[in-house]
């Protein structure tokens, strides 16, 4: 139960921190940079998955 409480406090704390970061222009730039990196990573994973599926269907 104690671990669940810490987990929930961590989630709430993250949302509060993100809320304050979006109000600051530097924080907004930082979050935009993180978002673009995550999007780049997920795009690379999706491309690799599609290439693997295409390779398997051609075999």
Return the pLDDT at 22: 87
- pLDDT, residue 46, reads 98
pLDDT score, position 38: 97
Question: pLDDT tens for residues 15-36?
Answer: 999 899 889 899 899 989 999 9
* CA 31/CA 17 separation, integer angstroms: 11
pLDDT score of 34: 93
Q: What is the pTM of this model?
A: 0.65
Q: How many residues does the chain have?
A: 59
How confident is the model at residue 9, as a pLDDT? 97
Cα torsion 23, 33, 44, 11: sign? negative
Residue 25's pLDDT is what?
A: 92
């Amino acid at each position: 139960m104690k671990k669940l409480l810490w987990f929930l406090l961590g989630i709430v704390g993250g949302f509060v921190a993100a809320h304050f970061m979006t109000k600051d222009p530097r924080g907004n730039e930082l979050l935009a940079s993180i978002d673009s990196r995550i999007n780049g990573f997920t795009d690379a994973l999706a491309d690799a998955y599609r290439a693997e599926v295409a390779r398997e269907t051609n075999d």
